[in-house]
Amino acid sequence: MVTTIAVRVKPGSSRTRVGGRHEGVFGPALVIAVMAPPVDGKATEAVRVALAAALDLPARDVALHKGATGRDKLFTVDCPGPGEAAAVAARAAALRDA
């Protein structure tokens, strides 16, 4: 099962933070601020790792699906089953809407 999560990236932040809501091009998005600069995919990789950590998943289960060069991105999360996919979606929504 694959779950898709919309993310709004804030690169060059003073610290890494996961939480908040942004009405982005892919719909309501989870805001992730990272210290990495938006150069050569460094911010995207930092966001991928931060998202995995926030969802309590291994980073290998999170992949960029769309938005490599923009601040609005879609990530896919590989889940072993429908129950896990629903739990991941609920955790992401809780972080986004908190």
pLDDT on residue 80 = 83
The pLDDT value recorded for residue 8 is 98
Distance from C-alpha of 3 to C-alpha of 15, rounded to nearest angstrom: 27
Domain limits at 58? 2-97
Strand partners, 6: 74
> Residue 33 belongs to a domain with what CATH number?
3.30.1200.10
Token pair belonging to 74? 């879609």
pTM: 0.95
Number of domains forming the structure of the chain: 1
pLDDT tens for the chain, 98 residues long, are 899 999 999 999 999 999 999 999 999 999 999 999 999 999 999 999 999 999 999 999 999 999 999 999 999 999 888 889 999 999 999 999 98
pLDDT at 98: 83
